[in-house]
Structure 1
Amino acid sequence: MLRKLIAITLCVFATTAHAELDIKEVTSPGGINAWVVEEPSIPFVALEIRFRGGTSLDLPGKRGATNLMMGLLEEGAADMTAQEFQTAREALAASYGFSASDDSVGISAQFLTENQDAALELLRQALIAPTFDQDAVDRVRGQVLANIASEEKSPNSIASAAFNAAAFGDHPYGTNSDGTVDSVNALTQTDIINAHKNALTRDRIYVSVVGNVTAAQVGQMLDTLLGDLPEQGPESPDDIAFGLTGGTTVIDYATPQAVAYFGHAGMKRDDPDFFAAYILNHVLGAGGFESRLMHEVREKRGLTYGIGTYLVPKFHAEMMIGTVASSNATIAEAISVTRDVWADTAENGITDVELTAAKTYLTGEYPLRFDGNSDIANIMVGMQMIGLSPDYVINRNVFIEAVTLDDVNRVAAELLAPADLHFVVVGQPEGLLTTSN
């Protein structure tokens, strides 16, 4: 019954207008900052924690340590085995999630208000006193190795890995955050303990709390939960310039459908022109069936089921990337059309009709993101990490509406660089060879 109630309450706290969110900024007695939205109408709390750094903090020769460590946080803590920990979590009807990415590690928690103290104490044990028992290490290591083996057979993963390696070299962005078979097999308990000490530190923490809790309660809650973590971690890696020049890289792989991963340097999230670039990207390739690339590559020519583009502003580098798949016989044409659309948009920009349609979509879908406690908490912690203020949720659509056609077309000429566009193609494409511009 408790588990069913959690499933229901995940969807109940919906807001009809994101502007109605009352985000309170809290600093705990111990100095931990958090954003809080009080919603007492249901007995449920969602908690999101992020630590900046992520798998980029892996020590030299220890690639995959942070990812493996995060996968072990639910595998036993304090005096509990992995099974005992899971049994305790189930008894509380609590839900925990642990994740790792290039720039951060994350912890998500959802629990009923009546079980709040016990659910937070159990989570505290996972964060402060994980056991990293050898049996658990070996079991989760096996899961990671299975994932690596699967990626090594996936054309999409092969393409993105080759693209990132060429763009970023020895920087952490240039290698798989899961590690390699050799690096993961070589990881020891000491390596995992070091990864835990380096990744979960108070100097790079971001927190959001949403639900049946008061801002006054949150401060002490956070000090109890997180106050015993190490105060400081290691230095983050340096920023790195996108290092892949224009051209085509073909990776021979026996598959009937070739996959292409493409892109060039992008734009920082805090760039004053980011919203113009965001609208531009929507029109070019992120707007689904309304985008130019989907229209030209799929609708007019039937060369693919789908093509999309993405702005990727990481903390230490920026990219604008895209993906497309087509048969080996037609991938060359799909790439040629993509290059032509890219060049035409850079030279001629978009139309006023496209701008209006993009604004209508982007402003209309934004409130729909705030449809539950967990979603709101996740959005808020993401806002904190990129330096936005709480009033962004009120002003975001104003920023979109303020973008002019001249803004978008100026950014199109500056951001889109057809000569720098590089395609990594995995398959056996007809009429394509490895080239450089």
Structure 2
Amino acid sequence: MTDAFTLPIQVVGAGPLSAWLVEDHSVPVVSVAWAWPGGASMDTAGHEGTAALAAAMLTEGAGDLRALAFADALRDSAIGLNFTAGRDNFEGSFRCLADALPEALRLAKLAMTAPRMDADALERVRARAIAGARTQLETPRGQAGRAFWASAFPGHPAGRPPNGTAESLTIIRPEALSATLDAQLRRDGLLVAVAGAIRPAELAELMQDLFGALPAGAPATPPPLPRFASFGRQVVPVPGPQSQVVFGQPGIPPQDPSWETAQIVLRVLGGGGFSSRLMEAVRVQRGLTYGVGVGIDTLFGGGVIAGSFATENGKVAEALDVTRGVWAELAQQGPTDAELEESVAYLTGSLPLQFTDSRRIAATLLAMRRNDRPLDWLSGRNDRLRAITRADAVRCAGTLLKPDALAVTVAGEPVGL
């Protein structure tokens, strides 16, 4: 069986300034997304959040436009412009009507080449970032996640909070933000993806205009993901009636030949909502938690399988025992024929939902480029999934899932741990 769904991808340009394009003139909208390696991996220890704060400042005024004037210019032309710093990458994007493309190009270029860094705008953005860090890191869930990643990758950027802490954000100086942007926003090392109402010749000209004025050279390559430190079990004391649990183990990189089989195994384990084994065992059968999920995080060229749940302090030990038992059973026996069939049906049937608008298409193309996917990867994906046999899934589950290496962080006051 072959699906009719296809995504015609064109390659525009060559070398450092090339882009993947899905051209579509049915709606007069253009979405452009681009990325460099770097992001929070450039932050120095104790100054976490520098790249994230620098990214936020790029839309807070540029050139002769202060923050309010810059925001008004974006709003008047209905342009969405955004910059973000991830753990190991720095991304920019804009979305606009085709008629507003020249203005979107002007403002995006101005943001990257002449950011203002006005003191009042910086303190406003810093205050917002500090409030966000406190919300994210000082809750039980935030404390569990922070401790989990710090213990799994001690001394590596993967173990640090990419958006910073209230303490680190407070001491970041404006000159550090400028230095980060100087090192990050370069003409080389770029990945570009575009979707919508733009022709290849127009896109080639756009790329030269948007990125041609940036300094030559590429950002520093982030350090590779080190070996996952299977640290066993740790408890972060947090007063309250419930505990938040984060657990995980080593994963695989996106380039692993068993990647698609692993997606099936992980959906069966904890990625399929009420159809997953963990949800059935932990919630439906025993009522130990409201929800539990598992997925794979890809970062620094590697992967980590991680999951979480929250439960009453007195139920943490039992919920963990059940989770580990489900993990071990799937590792030993693999998915059933019915589970394999359901997972393949979901993964193939949901594929077109990733491409409902130009912004999502551009984001997907960018992710494909970051993961070194070939141009025809999407067109053959469903056939590859349908070709996976139960023997393949059993073999993958046995090598992928490592219940003995499962590391657990509990933030709360768990009973019996």
TM bracket, shorter-chain basis:
over 0.9
Spell out, residue by residue over 1:291-326, the C-alpha distance to the aligned partner (whole angstroms, 9 max, x if none): 110111111111111111111221243211111111
Spell out, residue by residue over 1:214-271, the C-alpha distance to the aligned partner (whole angstroms, 9 max, x if none): 0111011111011111222443232233343252211111122211000111111101
Over 3 Å counting, the alpha-carbon distance change for 1:167 and 1:386 in structure 2 is same
| TM-score (ref. length: structure 1) | 0.91
| Counterpart among 2, 5, 8 of residue 22 in structure 1 | 8
Q: Is residue 259–residue 326 contact of structure 1 (8 Å, CA) maintained in 2?
A: yes
Alignment partner of 1:203: what SS?
Answer: coil
Spell out, residue by residue over 1:21-77, the C-alpha distance to the aligned partner (whole angstroms, 9 max, x if none): 22110016x840101111112221111112222111224553221110001011110
Report the counterpart of residue 263 of structure 1 in structure 2: 248
Alignment partner of 1:237: what SS?
Answer: coil
Map 1:70-149 onto structure 2 (within 5 A): 70-149=55-134
Report the counterpart of residue 385 of structure 1 in structure 2: 370
Report the counterpart of residue 159 of structure 1 in structure 2: 144
Report the counterpart of residue 225 of structure 1 in structure 2: 210
Q: Is residue 57–residue 234 contact of structure 1 (8 Å, CA) maintained in 2?
A: no
Report the counterpart of residue 155 of structure 2 in structure 1: 170
Matched AA of 1:119: A
- Measured after TM superposition, the shift of residue 144 of structure 1 is 1.1
Q: Is residue 16–residue 187 contact of structure 2 (8 Å, CA) maintained in 1?
A: no
- Measured after TM superposition, the shift of residue 87 of structure 1 is 1.2
Matched AA of 1:81: R
Spell out, residue by residue over 1:263-294, the C-alpha distance to the aligned partner (whole angstroms, 9 max, x if none): 11111110111111111001111111111101
Matched AA of 2:323: T
- Measured after TM superposition, the shift of residue 342 of structure 1 is 0.7
| Counterpart among 17, 23, 31 of residue 32 in structure 1 | 17
Larger CA deviation: 386-395 vs 311-320 = 311-320
Report the counterpart of residue 416 of structure 2 in structure 1: 431
Report the counterpart of residue 333 of structure 2 in structure 1: 348
| Counterpart among 350, 357, 360 of residue 365 in structure 1 | 350
Over 3 Å counting, the alpha-carbon distance change for 1:324 and 1:136 in structure 2 is same
Identical residues among aligned pairs (%): 35
Matched AA of 1:27: G
Map 1:255-334 onto structure 2 (within 5 A): 255-334=240-319
Alignment partner of 1:278: what SS?
Answer: helix
Over 3 Å counting, the alpha-carbon distance change for 1:94 and 1:237 in structure 2 is closer
Larger CA deviation: 178-187 vs 329-338 = 178-187
The 2-side partners of 1:19 and 1:364 are apart by: 10
Does the alignment pair 1:186 with 2:171? yes
What is the aligned residue count? Answer: 415
Map 1:178-257 onto structure 2 (within 5 A): 178-245=163-230, 247-257=232-242
The 2-side partners of 1:312 and 1:20 are apart by: 27
Q: Is residue 246–residue 409 contact of structure 2 (8 Å, CA) maintained in 1?
A: yes
Task: Give unmatched runs, 5+ long, in structure 1.
Answer: 1-16, 433-437
- Measured after TM superposition, the shift of residue 192 of structure 1 is 0.5
- Measured after TM superposition, the shift of residue 191 of structure 1 is 0.5
Spell out, residue by residue over 1:336-386, the C-alpha distance to the aligned partner (whole angstroms, 9 max, x if none): 100111111111222111111111111111111111111111111111111
Q: Is residue 254–residue 302 contact of structure 2 (8 Å, CA) maintained in 1?
A: no
Matched AA of 1:26: V
- Measured after TM superposition, the shift of residue 182 of structure 1 is 3.2
Matched AA of 1:279: I
Matched AA of 1:145: I
Matched AA of 1:292: R
Alignment partner of 1:19: what SS?
Answer: coil
Does the alignment pair 1:42 with 2:27? yes
Over 3 Å counting, the alpha-carbon distance change for 1:111 and 1:18 in structure 2 is farther
Over 3 Å counting, the alpha-carbon distance change for 1:152 and 1:115 in structure 2 is closer
Larger CA deviation: 107-116 vs 159-168 = 107-116
Report the counterpart of residue 5 of structure 1 in structure 2: none
Larger CA deviation: 67-76 vs 396-405 = 396-405
Alignment partner of 1:388: what SS?
Answer: coil
Matched AA of 2:35: R
- Measured after TM superposition, the shift of residue 143 of structure 1 is 1.1
Does the alignment pair 1:418 with 2:411? no
The 2-side partners of 1:290 and 1:200 are apart by: 44
